[in-house]
Protein backbone atom coordinates (compact mmCIF):
# COMPACT_ATOMS: atom_id res chain seq x y z
CA UNK A 1 0.00 0.00 0.00
CA UNK A 2 1.31 3.44 -0.94
CA UNK A 3 1.13 5.79 2.01
CA UNK A 4 1.11 9.52 1.46
CA UNK A 5 1.08 12.42 3.87
CA UNK A 6 -0.99 15.49 3.05
CA UNK A 7 0.49 18.81 4.05
CA UNK A 8 -1.99 21.26 5.57
CA UNK A 9 -2.51 23.02 2.23
CA UNK A 10 -3.95 19.79 0.78
CA UNK A 11 -6.82 19.65 3.27
CA UNK A 12 -9.54 21.14 1.07
CA UNK A 13 -13.01 21.12 2.54
CA UNK A 14 -15.11 21.68 -0.57
CA UNK A 15 -15.60 23.88 -3.60
CA UNK A 16 -14.95 26.95 -1.42
CA UNK A 17 -11.32 25.86 -1.17
CA UNK A 18 -11.14 25.25 -4.91
CA UNK A 19 -7.74 26.18 -6.23
CA UNK A 20 -5.57 25.19 -9.15
CA UNK A 21 -4.93 21.70 -7.73
CA UNK A 22 -8.37 20.95 -6.30
CA UNK A 23 -9.07 18.28 -8.94
CA UNK A 24 -5.75 16.53 -8.26
CA UNK A 25 -6.49 16.32 -4.54
CA UNK A 26 -9.95 14.91 -5.27
CA UNK A 27 -8.39 12.26 -7.56
CA UNK A 28 -5.99 11.26 -4.77
CA UNK A 29 -8.98 10.89 -2.45
CA UNK A 30 -10.63 8.66 -5.07
CA UNK A 31 -7.45 6.56 -5.33
CA UNK A 32 -7.71 6.02 -1.59
CA UNK A 33 -11.29 4.81 -2.01
CA UNK A 34 -10.03 2.39 -4.69
CA UNK A 35 -7.55 1.02 -2.16
CA UNK A 36 -4.41 2.12 -4.06
CA UNK A 37 -3.20 4.61 -1.45
CA UNK A 38 -3.69 5.60 2.16
CA UNK A 39 -3.85 9.30 2.89
CA UNK A 40 -2.44 10.41 6.23
CA UNK A 41 -2.00 13.69 8.02
CA UNK A 42 0.38 14.55 10.80
CA UNK A 43 -1.08 15.60 14.14
CA UNK A 44 0.47 19.06 13.64
CA UNK A 45 -1.76 19.61 10.62
CA UNK A 46 -4.82 20.28 12.73
CA UNK A 47 -2.99 22.85 14.84
CA UNK A 48 -2.29 24.83 11.66
CA UNK A 49 -5.97 24.87 10.64
CA UNK A 50 -7.36 25.29 14.14
CA UNK A 51 -10.40 27.56 14.10
CA UNK A 52 -11.60 26.49 10.65
CA UNK A 53 -14.21 23.93 11.68
CA UNK A 54 -15.07 22.74 8.17
CA UNK A 55 -11.39 22.12 7.37
CA UNK A 56 -10.91 20.33 10.70
CA UNK A 57 -13.86 18.12 9.85
CA UNK A 58 -12.32 17.34 6.44
CA UNK A 59 -8.94 16.68 8.08
CA UNK A 60 -10.53 14.11 10.37
CA UNK A 61 -11.39 11.99 7.31
CA UNK A 62 -7.69 11.12 6.92
CA UNK A 63 -5.66 8.86 9.19
CA UNK A 64 -3.84 10.83 11.85
CA UNK A 65 -0.20 10.05 12.59
CA UNK A 66 0.96 11.13 16.01
CA UNK A 67 4.26 12.95 16.04
CA UNK A 68 6.39 13.89 18.98
CA UNK A 69 5.05 16.48 21.36
CA UNK A 70 6.54 19.94 20.91
CA UNK A 71 5.93 22.33 23.79
CA UNK A 72 3.36 25.04 23.02
CA UNK A 73 2.66 23.56 19.57
CA UNK A 74 1.23 20.07 20.07
CA UNK A 75 -2.12 19.09 21.47
CA UNK A 76 -1.71 16.99 24.60
CA UNK A 77 -3.89 14.12 23.41
CA UNK A 78 -2.57 14.12 19.82
CA UNK A 79 1.14 13.45 20.23
CA UNK A 80 3.59 10.99 21.70
CA UNK A 81 6.43 11.50 24.12
CA UNK A 82 9.76 11.84 22.39
CA UNK A 83 12.42 9.32 23.17
CA UNK A 84 16.09 10.33 23.05
CA UNK A 85 16.47 9.36 19.38
CA UNK A 86 13.28 11.26 18.42
CA UNK A 87 14.51 14.36 20.18
CA UNK A 88 17.93 14.10 18.51
CA UNK A 89 16.34 13.63 15.08
CA UNK A 90 14.01 16.60 15.54
CA UNK A 91 16.79 18.86 16.82
CA UNK A 92 18.96 17.80 13.88
CA UNK A 93 16.09 18.62 11.52
CA UNK A 94 15.73 22.07 13.09
CA UNK A 95 19.46 22.67 12.73
CA UNK A 96 19.72 21.42 9.14
CA UNK A 97 16.69 23.43 8.04
CA UNK A 98 18.12 26.66 9.40
CA UNK A 99 15.22 27.00 11.83
CA UNK A 100 17.58 27.70 14.74
CA UNK A 101 19.02 30.69 12.86
CA UNK A 102 15.76 32.40 11.88
CA UNK A 103 15.89 36.11 12.52
CA UNK A 104 13.62 39.02 11.62
CA UNK A 105 10.61 36.77 11.29
CA UNK A 106 7.28 37.13 13.06
CA UNK A 107 6.38 34.69 15.81
CA UNK A 108 3.45 33.46 13.73
CA UNK A 109 5.70 32.63 10.76
CA UNK A 110 8.22 30.99 13.06
CA UNK A 111 5.48 28.86 14.58
CA UNK A 112 4.28 27.86 11.09
CA UNK A 113 7.83 26.88 10.10
CA UNK A 114 8.09 24.77 13.25
CA UNK A 115 4.82 23.02 12.40
CA UNK A 116 6.14 22.29 8.89
CA UNK A 117 9.14 20.63 10.54
CA UNK A 118 6.80 18.68 12.81
CA UNK A 119 4.86 17.44 9.76
CA UNK A 120 8.09 16.53 8.00
CA UNK A 121 9.45 14.71 11.05
CA UNK A 122 6.23 12.75 11.52
CA UNK A 123 6.14 11.82 7.81
CA UNK A 124 9.73 10.55 7.96
CA UNK A 125 9.22 8.75 11.27
CA UNK A 126 6.14 6.93 9.93
CA UNK A 127 8.04 5.85 6.81
CA UNK A 128 5.44 7.03 4.33
CA UNK A 129 6.19 6.98 0.61
CA UNK A 130 5.26 10.50 -0.52
CA UNK A 131 4.59 13.91 1.00
CA UNK A 132 2.10 16.01 -0.99
CA UNK A 133 2.48 19.79 -0.64
CA UNK A 134 2.35 22.88 -2.79
CA UNK A 135 4.82 24.64 -0.47
CA UNK A 136 7.97 23.04 -1.81
CA UNK A 137 10.19 25.73 -0.31
CA UNK A 138 8.95 24.90 3.21
CA UNK A 139 10.50 21.45 3.22
CA UNK A 140 14.13 20.32 3.15
CA UNK A 141 13.17 17.13 1.35
CA UNK A 142 16.47 16.94 -0.51
CA UNK A 143 18.43 16.69 2.75
CA UNK A 144 16.21 13.96 4.12
CA UNK A 145 15.59 11.84 1.04
CA UNK A 146 11.85 12.62 1.14
CA UNK A 147 9.70 12.02 -1.93
CA UNK A 148 7.91 15.35 -2.18
CA UNK A 149 5.25 15.95 -4.83
CA UNK A 150 3.62 19.24 -5.70
CA UNK A 151 -0.05 18.49 -6.49
CA UNK A 152 0.17 20.94 -9.40
CA UNK A 153 2.34 18.36 -11.18
CA UNK A 154 -0.40 15.74 -11.05
CA UNK A 155 -2.50 15.49 -14.21
CA UNK A 156 -6.00 14.64 -13.00
CA UNK A 157 -6.91 13.11 -16.39
CA UNK A 158 -3.87 10.81 -16.37
CA UNK A 159 -3.94 9.86 -12.71
CA UNK A 160 -7.60 8.91 -13.02
CA UNK A 161 -6.64 6.12 -15.47
CA UNK A 162 -4.16 4.44 -13.11
CA UNK A 163 -5.34 1.08 -11.80
CA UNK A 164 -2.35 -0.62 -10.15
CA UNK A 165 0.06 0.26 -7.39
CA UNK A 166 3.09 -0.14 -9.69
CA UNK A 167 1.60 2.25 -12.27
CA UNK A 168 0.99 4.75 -9.48
CA UNK A 169 4.51 4.45 -8.08
CA UNK A 170 5.96 5.06 -11.55
CA UNK A 171 3.63 7.99 -12.08
CA UNK A 172 4.53 9.57 -8.71
CA UNK A 173 8.26 8.94 -9.14
CA UNK A 174 8.23 10.82 -12.45
CA UNK A 175 6.71 13.86 -10.74
CA UNK A 176 8.57 14.09 -7.44
CA UNK A 177 10.71 17.12 -6.72
CA UNK A 178 14.40 16.79 -7.34
What is the number of domains present in the chain?
1
d(CA 108, CA 174): 35
Q: Which domain holds residue 35?
A: 2-175
d(CA 120, CA 33): 25
The CATH number assigned to the domain holding 67 equals 3.40.50
d(CA 19, CA 9): 10
pTM comes to 0.88
Tens digit of each residue's pLDDT (9 = 90 or more) over 94-144: 888 888 788 888 988 888 888 888 899 999 999 999 999 988 776 666 667
Coil, strand or helix at 127 = coil
Tens digit of each residue's pLDDT (9 = 90 or more) over 32-65: 998 999 999 999 988 888 666 778 888 999 999 9
* Mean residue pLDDT across the chain: 85
Q: Which residue has the higher pLDDT, 33 or 21?
A: 33
Q: Which residue has the higher pLDDT, 43 or 83?
A: 43
Amino acid sequence: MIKITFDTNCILRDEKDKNKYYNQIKILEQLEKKGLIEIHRADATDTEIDGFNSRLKKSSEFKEDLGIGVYDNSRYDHCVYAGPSDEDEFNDLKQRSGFNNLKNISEKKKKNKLKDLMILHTHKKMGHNYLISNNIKDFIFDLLNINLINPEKLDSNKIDTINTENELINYFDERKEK
